Amino acid sequence: MPSYTAPTRDIQFVLNEVLDVANSDVPGYSELEPDFTAAVLEECGKLNSEVLAPLNVVGDKEGCRLENGVVRTPTGFKAAFDQVREGGWTGLDMPEEFGGQNMPYVMGIATLEMFASANQAFAMYQGLTHGAASAILAHGSEHQKATYLPKMVSCDWTGTMNLTEPHCGTDLGLMRTKAEPQADGSYAITGQKIFISAGEHDMADNIIHLVLAKIPGGPEGIKGVSLFIVPKFLVKEDGSLGERNALSCGKIEEKMGIHGNSTCVMNYDGAKGFLIGEMHKGMRAMFTMMNEARLGVGMQGLAQAEAAYQNAVAYAKDRLQGRAVTGAENPDGPADPLIVHPDIRRSLMDQKSFTEGARAFILWGSTLIDKSHRGGDADAEGMISLLTPVIKGFLTDRGYDMTVQAQQIYGGHGYIEEWGMSQFTRDARIAMIYEGANGVQALDLVGRKLAADGGKHVMAFFDMVKSFIKENEGDEGLKKDFLEPLKAASKDLQAAGMFFMQNGMKNPNAALAGSYDFMHLFGHVCLGLMWARSAKVALAALAGGASDTAFYENKLTTGRYYMARQLPMTATHLARIQSGADVVMTLPADAF
């Protein structure tokens, strides 16, 4: 069975050394002293290694069962959920007035990595609740906040997001679920929603569904969509639970993975719902949470890659097969461990350099969210808006690829379920799809985010890279291995942006046909930047006589690998983009 150890040392490296959070002027960051964050991360790591990771396989094997309208979660999930609740993990970055601990978002994300690595299906119950609570926090009335948030922050009640219907996912303008105004100010919600994660289960006293629906007579399409709170049990004035609402789980989907999470078809049959925020502005309410939710899904890409990598390493060190081509390294044994073979190392280095680079990327992105939300920094808001589709799309695509590579290390044993490596692959697959399929992320990036605010944010990104290179170009330790590849990759990214500018106006397809490659090109540049920043820190630590020399030397070695072996992908992405739209759009539809 796979095991999991939280990579607290590396998370600390990013928080304290690369991002230097405690010395940032973001409100709340001064509390993030290394000793404090270490204590939080160690505790969280322990819970995840010891309690949630062992339940990962159980969740996969047992799945969720719908029996007489009740969904049974896998053995052990409920008790573990109680432990998570008791530890206060569900409200880590929620306001104190609703029972949270008011830590910055970056700490929420740092701990989320562990939950998503140890047991993604399980972590979704609290993750969806966090998302729904954030929506109520941002757009709910004072009464709604008081009614729902304390219970949701503690996860005594969990939450869901209801967007998709059988005939529409990305294009929510086609939505049919309707919300009819009632005399008491509430709405009667009627319709069917599908793919509702944690839609029904047995781990909480109540489930607060956030449902998108159309109020009859409103504008056509996406502009006529409103957002509603639709509780499973209605809540009385005194806060106690009242009658069962007219909603039910019609079916649990059989899925490729994340079996431990109940993915429900939800039927609303005139259920009582309460409008959140303004009428017909439901999408806006949804969109304000999207950066966070998408960043959380990007984290799943990294988290599954990390968990799969750890187990691939263990197997590569343990499994004896063949001899090193340069001479036996385990001469007294019947064969050498897999890890002596260059191609096994190539694969493990791919994985390691991805997860560490991705970790720095996503934690940096989280600080931008804190800067925006806590510090009111509009530039940070613009930057994270630009980077969000890259974090979601690139990290989940590459994270999935890494789980496939980790599985491959096991040979045939990776394909049978007994070893648990197939689960990482099957679970990681969903992150490329939900919360906006990755093709939609690419469209969002190229069709909207690039040109947002007159292209200001992408320019700021380029300036940031340029400044970093310029500031450090005198550093011989960085120059050849880090700054030069970063410069070349960044140049490719700029050339791609230029291509879109020159061609996209007269033919939008010229940009959109290259959107997916652009998202990946951008992602590589971001990881390249993160590695260059990490290398700078490592070199300084070594020069300053840090005691943990091995850590910093290994950091440099891993970074050099990424720059040498992954960053060259930018040239291919650029070539694809520059080949333009014709090769993509010419084939008649009936010739496919």
Where in 505-564 is the site for a second copy (CB under 8 A)?
Answer: 507-509, 512-513, 515-516, 550, 554, 557-558, 560-561, 564
**Binding of a second copy by 343 (CB under 8 A):** yes
Span interacting with a second copy, options 49-57, 77-85, 334-342, 361-369, rule CB under 8 A:
334-342
Q: Residue 493 CB, nearest distance to a second copy (Å)?
A: 15
Q: Which of 331, 334, 544, 545 binds a second copy (CB under 8 A)?
A: 334
Q: Which is nearer to a second copy, 348 or 532 (CB)?
A: 348
Span interacting with a second copy, options 78-86, 120-128, 492-500, 501-509, rule CB under 8 A:
501-509
Return contacts of 169-173, CB within 8 angstroms, 24+ apart: 169/195, 169/437, 170/436, 170/437, 170/440, 172/212, 172/222, 172/225, 172/283, 173/220, 173/221, 173/222, 173/223, 173/225
Active-site residue, 471 included: no
Q: Which is nearer to a second copy, 149 or 563 (CB)?
A: 563
Other beta carbons within 10 angstroms of residue 249's beta carbon come to 21
Q: Which of 138, 246, 540, 569 binds a second copy (CB under 8 A)?
A: 569
**Binding of a second copy by 447 (CB under 8 A):** yes
Tell me if 488 sits within 8 A of 524, measured CB to CB: no
The SS3 assignment for 314 reads: helix
Q: Which of 38, 234, 241, 437 binds a second copy (CB under 8 A)?
A: 437
Tell me if 239 sits within 8 A of 205, measured CB to CB: no
Alpha carbons 498 and 445: distance in angstroms, whole number: 15
**Binding of a second copy by 249 (CB under 8 A):** no
326 is written with which tokens?
């340069």
Strand 157-162 to 206-214 pairing: parallel
408 is written with which tokens?
């491959």
Helical axes 484-504 vs 569-578, angle rounded to 10°: 10
Q: Which of 101, 192, 288, 579 binds a second copy (CB under 8 A)?
A: 579
Is residue 222 packed enough to be buried (19+ CB in 10 Å), middle (13-18) or exposed (0-12)? middle
Q: Residue 96 CB, nearest distance to a second copy (Å)?
A: 37
Contacts with a second copy by CB under 8 A: the residue count is 96
Span interacting with a second copy, options 83-91, 99-107, 179-187, 432-440, rule CB under 8 A:
432-440
Q: Which of 22, 66, 246, 433 binds a second copy (CB under 8 A)?
A: 433
Site string for a second copy, 178-207 (x = CB under 8 A): ----------------xx------------
Dump strand ranges (E) for 277-399.
Answer: none
The residues in 160-179 that bind a second copy, with binding defined as CB under 8 A, are 164, 167-171, 173-174
Span interacting with a second copy, options 135-143, 202-210, 455-463, 568-576, rule CB under 8 A:
568-576
Q: Residue 78 CB, nearest distance to a second copy (Å)?
A: 25
Q: Residue 425 CB, nearest distance to a second copy (Å)?
A: 7
Alpha carbons 519 and 517: distance in angstroms, whole number: 5
**Binding of a second copy by 501 (CB under 8 A):** no
Q: Residue 409 CB, nearest distance to a second copy (Å)?
A: 9
Q: Which of 248, 438, 472, 503 binds a second copy (CB under 8 A)?
A: 438
Q: Residue 458 CB, nearest distance to a second copy (Å)?
A: 19
Q: Which is nearer to a second copy, 144 or 355 (CB)?
A: 355
The residues in 34-73 that bind a second copy, with binding defined as CB under 8 A, are none
Q: Residue 256 CB, nearest distance to a second copy (Å)?
A: 4
Nearest to 497 by CA among 388, 573, 396, 399: 573
Site string for a second copy, 291-330 (x = CB under 8 A): ----------------------x--xx--xxx--xx----
Tell me if 388 sits within 8 A of 290, measured CB to CB: yes
Instruction: Name the catalytic one among 43, 435, 473, 476.
Output: 435
Q: Which is nearer to a second copy, 296 or 337 (CB)?
A: 337
Q: What are phi and psi of 294, to 5 degrees?
A: -70, -35
Alpha carbons 70 and 201: distance in angstroms, whole number: 7
Alpha carbons 403 and 98: distance in angstroms, whole number: 38
> Would residue 191 be called left, alpha or beta, if left means φ above 0 and alpha means ψ between -120 and 50 degrees?
left
> Would residue 102 be called left, alpha or beta, if left means φ above 0 and alpha means ψ between -120 and 50 degrees?
left
Q: What are phi and psi of 167, to 5 degrees?
A: -100, 0
Q: Which of 112, 128, 442, 489 binds a second copy (CB under 8 A)?
A: 442
The residues in 392-431 that bind a second copy, with binding defined as CB under 8 A, are 400, 404, 407-408, 411-412, 414-418, 422, 425-426, 429-430
**Binding of a second copy by 448 (CB under 8 A):** no
Q: Which is nearer to a second copy, 156 or 253 (CB)?
A: 253
Tell me if 286 sits within 8 A of 227, measured CB to CB: yes
Q: Which of 348, 395, 428, 530 binds a second copy (CB under 8 A)?
A: 348
Tell me if 186 sits within 8 A of 273, measured CB to CB: yes
Dump strand ranges (E) for 118-224.
Answer: 157-162, 178-181, 187-197, 206-214
Catalytic residues: 435
